[in-house]
């Protein structure tokens, strides 16, 4: 596979789960001997760009405006691909991904792959037709969870390294990944006593969330649930790591419900800081309304941290692989409060962190993902 160039096309390189999965994809491909170039055609954050460059991947920042006419975009992409002459183009399926796929096809690229990250339940017929058209132009079209695949195609097919024939299918699921060594290495750097003192958590039971503060992440559901938890466990504190457009409305909600003094908001932090802050959590909650995968769940589970999550999308596969009792009805704050209280009262002492770490490694650790990606690309050769 030496000297075969692969272009990973993504609209933005910002601080998000899709970007980190693209980083892992670049690492996996470079580990197989491919030359990898990351094409970011809209916005970028230099901190994230530097992470890609540190791995050895070349990065092209085109900085094209979002409002660029589609025909102009197609023309520009065709010129770019014809100049680069890659063996394969792997597109992160985020708008305007269909334009990129079509452009690669018109440029004569034989090996086109794409990865779709979002659930199809919130999209209409137009988007579904566009996905079907785009996938017909790809040799392999992948999804980050079986739930995502089913929501778009009505089918479930896992690319399984233990079954080489599974990679002959044009569509299939490859789970997202984390690097256990990296996560645990960052955790070891955490000054847990210092963090506890810094955030006023000494002697407290910490219910945490690591999330962008957006409607779909359901942090308001968690705040409402905490109204029911706090009187039962007065020493409990809600520790919310992250920031976003819903921050002010969430703070107002907490104030109206009378629990402002029991909630700690960290604001935006780096990924490594977020991982270190997980070390002070008694459990972590993913209360999302919809979620393609739920990356923070495996970031917590690989550290042995208990996770409570909503029964939606890929989260149900991820958290349910360890403990179905940790799932609650989506948007039901009363059920969320019950699941959290049941864990803290009855299951906390019996939590087997070692078993959770091992199971998470077996399913989602980077070496498993890297082997799967290698077999996917080998199936094209």
- Nearest residue to 242 (alpha-carbon basis) of 16, 38, 4, 84: 16
Cα R_g (the chain), whole angstroms: 21
CA gap 172, 115 in Å, rounded: 10
Q: Is the peptide bond before 160 cis (omega within 30 degrees of 0)?
A: no
CA gap 57, 49 in Å, rounded: 10
Instruction: Assign domain 5-177+365-378 to its CATH superfamily.
Output: Glycogen Phosphorylase B; (3.40.50.2000)
- Mean pLDDT, the chain, as a whole number? 94
Give the sign of the dihedral formed by CA 358, CA 360, CA 362, CA 365. negative
Torsion angle defined by CA atoms of residues 120, 121, 124 and 126, in that order, rounded to the nearest 10 degrees: 10
The mean pLDDT value for 19-38 works out to 96
Report whether pLDDT(20) > 60: yes
Check for a shared fold between 5-177+365-378 and 180-363: yes
Instruction: For 170-226, write each residue's pLDDT tens digit.
Output: 999 999 999 999 999 999 999 999 999 999 999 999 999 999 999 999 999 999 999
CA gap 118, 152 in Å, rounded: 9
Instruction: For 63-80, write each residue's pLDDT tens digit.
Output: 999 988 899 999 999 999
- For the beta carbon of residue 248, count every other beta carbon within 10 angstroms: 9
* Every domain of the chain and the residues it spans: 5-177+365-378, 180-363
Instruction: For 194-210, write each residue's pLDDT tens digit.
Output: 999 999 999 999 999 99
Does pTM surpass 0.85? yes
- Nearest residue to 114 (alpha-carbon basis) of 74, 68, 75, 172: 172
CATH class of 180-363: alpha beta
Instruction: For 360-375, write each residue's pLDDT tens digit.
Output: 999 999 999 999 999 9
Report whether pLDDT(1) > 60: no
The mean pLDDT value for 227-243 works out to 96
CA gap 360, 362 in Å, rounded: 5
């Amino acid at each position: 596979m030496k000297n075969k160039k692969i272009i990973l096309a993504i609209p933005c390189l910002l601080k998000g789960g899709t970007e980190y999965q693209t980083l892992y994809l670049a690492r996996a491909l470079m580990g197989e001997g491919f030359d990898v170039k990351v094409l970011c055609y809209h916005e970028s954050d230099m901190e994230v760009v530097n992470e890609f460059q540190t791995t050895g991947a070349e990065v092209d920042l085109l900085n094209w405006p979002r409002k660029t006419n589609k025909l102009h975009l197609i023309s520009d992409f065709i010129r770019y691909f014809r100049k680069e002459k890659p063996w394969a183009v792997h597109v992160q399926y985020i708008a305007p991904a269909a334009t990129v796929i079509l452009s690669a096809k018109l440029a004569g690229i034989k090996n086109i792959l794409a990865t779709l990250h979002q659930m199809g339940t919130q999209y209409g017929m137009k988007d579904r037709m566009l996905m079907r058209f785009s996938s017909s132009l790809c040799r392999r079209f992948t999804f980050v969870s079986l739930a995502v695949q089913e929501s778009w195609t009505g089918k479930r097919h896992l690319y399984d390294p233990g079954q080489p024939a599974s990679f002959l299918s044009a569509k299939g699921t490859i789970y997202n990944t984390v690097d256990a060594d990296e996560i645990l290495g960052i955790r070891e750097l955490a000054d847990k006593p210092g963090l506890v003192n810094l955030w006023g958590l000494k002697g407290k039971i910490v219910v945490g969330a690591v999330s962008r503060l957006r409607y779909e992440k359901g942090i308001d559901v968690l705040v409402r649930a905490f109204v029911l938890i706090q009187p039962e466990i007065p020493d409990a504190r809600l520790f919310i790591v992250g920031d976003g457009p819903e921050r002010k409305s969430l703070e107002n909600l907490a104030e109206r419900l009378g629990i402002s003094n029991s909630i700690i908001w960290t604001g935006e932090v780096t990924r490594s800081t977020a991982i270190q802050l997980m070390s002070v959590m008694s459990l972590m909650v993913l209360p999302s309304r919809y979620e393609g995968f739920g990356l923070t769940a495996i970031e917590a589970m690989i550290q042995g941290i208990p996770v409570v999550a909503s029964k939606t999308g890929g989260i149900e596969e991820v958290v349910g692989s360890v403990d179905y009792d940790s799932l609650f009805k989506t948007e039901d704050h009363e059920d969320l409060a019950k699941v959290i209280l049941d864990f803290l009262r009855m299951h906390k002492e019996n939590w087997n962190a070692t078993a959770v770490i091992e199971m998470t490694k077996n399913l989602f650790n980077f070496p498993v993902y890297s082997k799967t990606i290698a077999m996917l690309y080998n199936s094209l050769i």
